[in-house]
Amino acid sequence: MGLESIVKLLGFDNYYDMDNYNNDDDYYDNWGIWNSKFSPYYSDF
């Protein structure tokens, strides 16, 4: 989807995605990681 490029254009310094999360156990089918699992992870940054 090109989200990393978009957030850089919008001026964000960092972009955290599934590759950074590094826990495939929380991956849900084709939808990615549930927000309830991912939100606590990225809120620490």
What are 8-37's pLDDT values in tens digits?
A: 999 999 888 888 888 888 888 888 888 888
Give the per-residue pLDDT at 45. 65
Give the per-residue pLDDT at 42. 77
Query: Does 11 or 44 have the greater pLDDT score?
Result: 11
Tell me the whole-structure pTM to 2 decimals: 0.55
**Phi and psi of 14, rounded to 5°?**
-130, 150
- The two most distant CA atoms of the chain are separated, in Å, by 31
List the chain domain ranges: 3-42
